[in-house]
Every structure is written in structure tokens, then in C-alpha cells.
Amino acid sequence: MKKKIVVLTGAGVSAESGISTFRDSNGLWEEHKIEDVATFKGWMKDKDLVLKFYNTRRTQLGTVKPNDAHLAIAKLEEGYDVIVVTQNVDDLHERAGSSKIIHLHGELTKARSTVNPSLVYDIGYKEIHRGDMCEKGSQLRPHIVWFGENVPMMDEAYEIVMGADIVIIIGTSMQVYPAAGLVEVTKPGAKVYFIDPKASGDVGSEVEIIREKAGTAVPRLVEELLKSITIEQ
């Protein structure tokens, strides 16, 4: 039976593909206040602004490619049962070849009904316009979990992490809840790696911290993990 690996990824894993981490140090997202473009209140106040904001990001996503970190994560499936739990809304893990992916914060390449969250549509890199409706006659909105909204996949993510033999955290501070709580539920004896140039040292003594960029550190770690299977056999 293959060992289970859960890979937790954040903005840092996609930054080397040219995707902005998109929240600046001053709290603005591409010069917009967070409450204007990433809350339901902002959506109700100015739908055109919110649609334009995410349409721009979606168009840009179609111009970039998975980087070495994404490709290495997908390669892990050659020897392990791998699930990617990502805070990112891009589709680079899918395009790199990972087969099991949970998006905690939604997906940029999908739209959903404003009145019924279960009505979700694949739109690829197309824009959402005012007047684009679901079958219920409600305006389509970005399929993004905004601030103040529930994270519907969080319970499933907790269960998955609890069953992991190895957890690899990449490109995220893991300081913001509820996602930060995922590290706290790893089972006794599970190996945890934390890859980020600015990784905090207060994530626990059992965590192996690798302060490097994802594109460099992840392929190396993946090769080591795949070789360890051969040695064990």
C-alpha cells in the first residue's frame, strides 16, 4: 500500500509561474481594497468592479504555465498516494498533472450562481459579464471563497491531513486560520516539511523547515522521497 502524502500549497508555489501573490504588504489587492473586491458586500455594491478584477486575473492565468514545483508535486504520484490541498485559485496543479486536488478558496476557472452555491460552471479563461445568468436566473459570480464566507472544503481537508503519513507545506505562511489549523492535526509520527523562503520557525519542533523557493526545493525533495521508496523496497 502506498504511503499517503498531503501537499498544502499557497501563493508561493505559483509565484514563480508569474502569478502575483496579489495581496500587497499594504493590504491592497492590485490597488483595490480587499473589502471592495473580495467580500460579498463588495460584490453587492459594485458587481462590475468585482467582475473586472477577476476577469483580469483569469485572463492572465491563461497565459502562464506550471513551474518546476507544480510538475514535481505531480511526479510524486509515481510512488505515493498524493492529495493536493491548495489555497490557490489557479489551475496550475491540474495542468501539471496532479490528479487529486482540493481548492479551499475556490477556482478562478469556474463561475457560480449568486443565489445557489451548488450551481457551478466551468468557464476556463473566459470572462464573466453582467447579465450572464445561471439557470435560476441569478447573476453568475466568481467561484471564489471571499472573506467572511464559509470554506466548504475545510472539514474534508482536516480529515485528509489527519490520515497523511507525510505532509509537505509549500509557499504559505500557514499563519491564517482556518487553513493554519491543518498543521495541528497531523497524526503522531507523520513527517512534515515546510518549504518557503520566509518560513516561520514557530511551526513546531517536528517540522523540517526548508527556506528556499519552491521551484528549487520541491523537485529536490520529491526526488529524495521517490528514492526512499526504492531503498525501502
Q: Is 170 exposed, middle or buried (0-12, 13-18, 19+ CB in 10 A)?
A: buried
Given pLDDT bands bounded at 50, 70 and 90, which one contains residue 27? Answer: very low
72 in the same domain as 55: no
Catalytic site residues?
Answer: 105
Residue 9 Rama label (left phi>0; alpha psi -120 to 50; beta) = beta
Start-to-end Cα distance in the chain: 12
Contact in structure between 185 and 179 (CB atoms under 8 Å): no
Mean pLDDT, range 135-139, rounded to an integer:
95
Which residues are CB-neighbours of 106 under 8 A, at least 6 positions away?
89, 142, 143, 144, 145
| Cα three-residue angle 29-33-39, rounded to 5 degrees | 95
52 has a pLDDT exceeding 70: yes
Q: In angstroms, rounded to a whole number, what is the distance separating the alpha carbons of residues 136 and 159?
A: 34
181 in the same domain as 76: yes
Contact in structure between 24 and 185 (CB atoms under 8 Å): no
138 in the same domain as 196: no
* pLDDT, tens digit (0-9, with 9 covering 90-100), for 151-197: 989 899 999 999 999 999 998 876 665 556 777 788 988 999 999 88
123 in the same domain as 73: no
Q: Residues of 117-148 as b/e, b for ≥16 C-beta within 10 angstroms?
A: eebbeebeeeebeeeeebeeeebbbbbbbbee
Mean pLDDT, range 98-123, rounded to an integer:
96
The Cα-based distances of 32 to 10, 27, 49, 178 in angstroms read: 21, 9, 10, 24
What is the model's pLDDT at position 28? Answer: 47
**Tell me, what CATH number does 3's domain have?**
3.40.50.1220
What is the model's pLDDT at position 46? Answer: 97
161 in the same domain as 99: yes
* pLDDT, tens digit (0-9, with 9 covering 90-100), for 186-229: 898 899 999 988 876 555 557 899 999 999 999 999 999 999 98
Name which residue leads in pLDDT, 2 or 177: 2
200 in the same domain as 163: yes
Ranges of H-type helices in 62-205: 68-75, 92-96, 154-162
Of 215, 211, 181, the closest CA to residue 199 belongs to 211
User: Strand, coil or helix: what is 167?
Assistant: strand
Count of the separate structural domains present in the chain: 2
What is the model's pLDDT at position 50? Answer: 96
195 in the same domain as 162: yes
What is the model's pLDDT at position 29? Answer: 58
Domain residues for 57?
20-63+108-144
- Alpha-carbon 59 to chain mean position: 18
26 has a pLDDT exceeding 50: no
127 in the same domain as 216: no
Mean pLDDT, range 36-50, rounded to an integer:
96
Please say whether the dihedral angle defined by the alpha carbons of residues 39, 44, 49 and 53, taken in this order, is positive or negative: positive
